[in-house]
A and B are shown apart, each in its own frame.
Chain A
Amino acid sequence: MARGLTRAQLGVTDAMLATFGDIVFRMSHNLQVREGDPVRRLDWEAIERQREAMGLADGQIAARLGLTRQQVMFIRNSEESRRFRTGQQAYLLDLGGGRRFRAEKVVRLEERFSYSADALRLRDTFRFDAALARRYVERGWWGNDTLPGWLARNAAARPDAPALVLAGQVVSWTELQQRVLRFAEGLRSAGVAAGEVVAVQLPNIPEFVIAYLAICRLGAVMTTLHMPYRGMEIAALARHSRARMAICLGEVKGSSPAAAFLDAGTKVVVVGAPVPGALAFADLESSSPLARDWPAPVAADPFVLLYTSGTTSAPKAVPHSYHTLLSNARLSVPEHGLSADDRVLSAAPFTHLFGLYALHCAWACGAASVLLPAFTPRDLAELIAKERPTALWTAPAHIAAARAMGLLEGERWSSLRLAIMSGSACPEELVRDFAARVPRCAVTQLWGMTETQAGLYTRPQDAIEMHARSAGRPSPGTEVRIADGGELQVRGCLLFPGFYDNAEANAGSFTPDGWYRTGDLAVMHAEGSVAITGRVKDIINRGGMKFNPADVERLLDSHPKILQSAVVPMPDPVLGEKACAFVTLRDASQSLTLEELVAYLLQMDIAKTKLPEKLVVVSEMPLTPTRKIIKGKLRLP
């Protein structure tokens, strides 16, 4: 248009635009050339000669080209708009204040980083209730905590203090930071970008920690695979997580995780012996450090994608941002009574959130992490005796196993001031016994989920009764309630936003008012502590009589011949469901009959409707990495 006239009224065609667009643009004032200083000198000959080079008005161009002035106006405006690139002022915004434009440093906007479709898909999971998010920020729960930020802070405040301790080897905070930055550069050069998922399947070794922090430094996201996982699980999780790279061992107990990842089409970085087709961890770590100004992640960024332990159903992917997990760790450190002087040991694997929580708490306060590559009762006891940790993250099964081998005796555990037991239901007797054997150590319980990290825990100063009989009170920033039917529900600054790429799971997991249905059964005591009593999905419905098998299991576990038990429903044509007890025996050479079991339970004054009606003795239970029985894998004969 020009002066309100349309293209048709002006007689401008696409052909005319194509023919004259360039010359009109060039003849106008868009490109100017001046020789000498003719106007100031009033050099009339030069002024006239240079008129065209200095740019012509539309009317002058029209006269030169044989077009109407309105046609030139239309063509020029169209051509200018076609050429005009928007957003160019963005280049200006970093200038000034002593910073000058340097052509060699300019990266064109269209060539600058953008998140991949997969990364955006993951980031899109992070939708929180706006009012709750505002509350978390206003209360100071959500800040800008990030793991790279904490690492930098600890390296600056305690450069020579130990960050990692492993078999006599000490890695200082400074050294850890340097190794992380070098490996981050190695990952970057191997193609890892912000927002991408990197799978890690490693024991609790320094390489795990370095990989974790380096992934975070790049703004990427770590997903963990538990060490027992093999080809089928690796393929499934690599596919679901859309991992761009995996960091793993070349060989584990005759199997090759590296080969499994390579088969799944994932790039692999291997720790230890070289594997054809895989990059070597050591090679990546020998890179020069990541550039200081490489964009650091922020607290709203996702940084882990963890799969639930999946005891009752197929694994579900739980994404967390720094907001959720690090606010929980930061707020919990004073509750656990931890400080920079502590030495934190996790018997739980770092591939599980409970193990990561040990790292998060240690890093929140600058404490050292004592590394136990893989749990055996003897290795745990010897490491504690040698490296003298002050805080222990452990599952009840770890302590039970150590006790069964007589490893709790003597002074070897005397360095402990705090033990946090979690991962599965903790027998009351075990807590009391452990506390009695390590009298200077507060034996606490913690309840958490991959979806929440640390939701409930007892505090070191609590009475032994509370430690033994409950999972404690909510962590700061956490709210819990017991819904009708006894289910524990939770919300707060620690809560994940929802499952990744699993609308079906999300639909049933949250109440309309935003509470997460944990699936755990619980009771709340008068003083506000919460005891976990079982799983909603474990409830057995025997002809309309519903009962929680946890009570039966607790009694079975006290049987002198039984090491572990699990009571699950079995189909019955009349009653719908009946109880079936799976057990492992302390002494495999002994035998146990259903009659013997029933007689024992009846002695304990249990309702007959809860009695197991079938007994299956197995050599070992299917266990999660935190030693929780995976009931879904127990198969009825």
Chain B
Amino acid sequence: MEGAKQAIFEYCRKHGALAAGVADLAACERIAPPGHRPRDLFPRVKSVISLGVGGQTQGAWQLPAKAMAYSGSTEARAYKIAYGLAFFIEHKFGAPSVYVPPDMDPEAGPRVPLQSLKLHAELAGIGARSLAGDILLHPQFGFMYYASVYTELELEPDAPMQDNPCPAPSCVNLYRQTGRTPCMKFCPAQCLSGEVDAEGRQKMMRYDMAACAEFTQQYEAVPKILAEAVADEVRSAGGERLLDPDTKMLWYKVSAGSGAWFAQCFECMRVCPIATRAPQADPILRRKA
């Protein structure tokens, strides 16, 4: 089992993943809501593999917001690795595997995923929740995009990270002076707030996801824009159809899901010392290390 795990991690590393880990399946099942648990999707799943990609140059963090929004996302790279990894496991170990679809489930709730890739990564120990709306951060790799593979191959789960890198010491200092960390201060939607305890750890995180989405999840604007375009002030049956969850998925697919529209604004990550100065996110530094 240990050899298989090493082979899987090696595959991930060779194909560009910064980090990989195995989440505890039982914990996933216990924490995810009904309908969104690994076994709801893949009943004979034995292991949940999570991998992360990312890494931006220092220059990339200086891009205008519009350019960051269009070019900052690297999730497609993660999906590609996970997609290949599922085949790799099947060929190498003969265990049925599946690349976990990263899309949303508009029938479940607002911006609720089919399966929580964030939960997998957190339980697999390759990210910890930050004050920036629960975006996962890693002390060495910073801000990553995650992808998951479910497999019938049994693998030893990893433990969550021992320590949470958020808030960084400089953020604690700012919080103590102003009551806000940089991500809270510079969020254009002002959707973040929270508290840091006396030891400099997260005490409370508050995230107004609806406000955040107004700035970034532009696919959600489509039905309203269309309704306004036809002056559908009284919600007609046609107008209501625009809001149908299945139709909403269509907006997502033709917009953010196609990689063509805003899906993140990155302003909280732009001011995050963990995201922007992660030493191992830089492949040259990583090789030297």
Q: A76-B110, A78-B235 are in contact. Are A57 and B66 (CB under 8 A)?
A: no
* Inter-subunit contact A89/B218 (CB<8 Å): yes
* Inter-subunit contact A40/B108 (CB<8 Å): no
* Inter-subunit contact A39/B119 (CB<8 Å): yes
Q: Indicate with 1 or 0, residue by residue over B179-214, a CB within 8 angstroms of chain A CB atoms.
A: 000000011111000000000011111111110011
The count of residues in chain A whose C-beta lies closer than 8 Å to any C-beta of chain B is 54
Q: A80 vs B209: C-alpha distance in the bound complex, in angstroms?
A: 11
Give the residues in chain A near B31, CB-CB below 8 Å: 39, 47
* Inter-subunit contact A73/B267 (CB<8 Å): no
Q: Does B27 contact A (CB under 8 A)?
A: yes
26 pairs from A and B in contact (CB 8 Å cutoff) = A1-B240, A4-B244, A29-B209, A30-B110, A32-B205, A32-B209, A34-B202, A35-B203, A39-B160, A57-B33, A58-B107, A78-B235, A78-B240, A81-B224, A81-B227, A86-B224, A87-B221, A88-B214, A89-B215, A89-B265, A92-B188, A92-B215, A92-B265, A96-B62, A96-B67, A100-B267
Q: How far is the CB of B208 from chain A (nearest CB, A)?
A: 6
Q: A29 vs B209: C-alpha distance in the bound complex, in angstroms?
A: 7
Residue of A nearest to B107 (CB): A73
Q: A487 vs B188: C-alpha distance in the bound complex, in angstroms?
A: 62
Q: Does A83 contact B (CB under 8 A)?
A: yes
Q: Does B220 contact A (CB under 8 A)?
A: yes
Give the residues in chain A near B210, CB-CB below 8 Å: 25, 30-31, 80, 83-84
Q: Does B250 contact A (CB under 8 A)?
A: no
For the complex with contacts A40-B160, A77-B244, 20 further pairs of A-B residues with Cβ separation under 8 Å are A3-B246, A6-B237, A6-B240, A25-B210, A29-B109, A30-B209, A31-B208, A32-B207, A34-B134, A37-B128, A39-B119, A39-B160, A84-B224, A85-B214, A86-B225, A91-B215, A92-B66, A92-B267, A94-B65, A100-B186
* Inter-subunit contact A57/B62 (CB<8 Å): no
Taking a contact as CB atoms closer than 8 A, the residue among A2, A4, A42, A86 that contacts B27 in the complex is A42
Give the residues in chain A near B265, CB-CB below 8 Å: 89, 92, 95
Q: Does A615 contact B (CB under 8 A)?
A: no
* Inter-subunit contact A57/B65 (CB<8 Å): no
Q: Does A101 contact B (CB under 8 A)?
A: yes
Q: Indicate with 1 or 0, residue by residue over A35-74, a CB within 8 angstroms of chain B CB atoms.
A: 1110111101001000000011111110000000000010
Residue of B nearest to A27 (CB): B109
Give the residues in chain A near B112, CB-CB below 8 Å: 29, 57
Give the residues in chain A near B66, CB-CB below 8 Å: 92-93, 96
Residue of B nearest to A97 (CB): B64
Q: Does B46 contact A (CB under 8 A)?
A: no
* Inter-subunit contact B267/A59 (CB<8 Å): no
Enumerate the 8 nearest inter-chain pairs by beta-carbon distance, A residue then B residue, closest first.
Answer: A96-B64, A95-B65, A30-B210, A96-B65, A1-B244, A101-B188, A88-B214, A57-B33
Give the residues in chain A near B227, CB-CB below 8 Å: 81
Q: How far is the CB of B187 from chain A (nearest CB, A)?
A: 7
Which of A47, A92, A100 has the most chain B CB within a 10 Å cutoff? Answer: A92
* Inter-subunit contact A4/B246 (CB<8 Å): yes
Q: How far is the CB of B186 from chain A (nearest CB, A)?
A: 5
Q: A25 vs B213: C-alpha distance in the bound complex, in angstroms?
A: 14
Q: Does B135 contact A (CB under 8 A)?
A: no
Q: A613 vs B235: C-alpha distance in the bound complex, in angstroms?
A: 78
* Inter-subunit contact A40/B134 (CB<8 Å): no
Give the residues in chain A near B122, CB-CB below 8 Å: 39-40
Which of B133, B209, B241 has the most chain A CB within a 10 Å cutoff? Answer: B209
Instruction: Report which A residues bind B (CB closer than 8 A).
Output: 1-4, 6-7, 25, 28-37, 39-42, 44, 47, 55-61, 73, 76-78, 80-81, 83-89, 91-98, 100-101, 103
Give the residues in chain B near A73, CB-CB below 8 Å: 107, 245
Q: A456 vs B118: C-alpha distance in the bound complex, in angstroms?
A: 74
Q: A59-B34, A73-B245, A103-B190 are in contact. Are A98 and B62 (CB under 8 A)?
A: yes
* Inter-subunit contact B235/A91 (CB<8 Å): no
Taking a contact as CB atoms closer than 8 A, the residue among B109, B218, B225 that contacts A57 in the complex is B109
Q: A98 vs B63: C-alpha distance in the bound complex, in angstroms?
A: 8
Q: Does B164 contact A (CB under 8 A)?
A: yes
Q: How far is the CB of B215 from chain A (nearest CB, A)?
A: 5
Q: How far is the CB of A341 from chain B (nearest CB, A)?
A: 44
* Inter-subunit contact A34/B63 (CB<8 Å): no
Q: How far is the CB of A442 from chain B (nearest CB, A)?
A: 53
Q: A39-B119, A81-B224, A86-B225 are in contact. Are A34 and B188 (CB under 8 A)?
A: no
Give the residues in chain B near A7, CB-CB below 8 Å: 237, 240
* Inter-subunit contact B224/A55 (CB<8 Å): no
Q: How far is the CB of B103 from chain A (nearest CB, A)?
A: 16
Residue of A nearest to B189 (CB): A88
Q: How far is the CB of A104 from chain B (nearest CB, A)?
A: 12
Q: Does B140 contact A (CB under 8 A)?
A: no
Give the residues in chain A near B248, CB-CB below 8 Å: 77
Taking a contact as CB atoms closer than 8 A, the residue among B129, B206, B213 that contacts A40 in the complex is B129
Taking a contact as CB atoms closer than 8 A, the residue among A4, A36, A42, A58 that contacts B160 in the complex is A42
* Inter-subunit contact A34/B205 (CB<8 Å): yes
Q: Indicate with 1 or 0, residue by residue over B22-65, a CB within 8 angstroms of chain A CB atoms.
A: 00000100110111100000000000000000000000001111
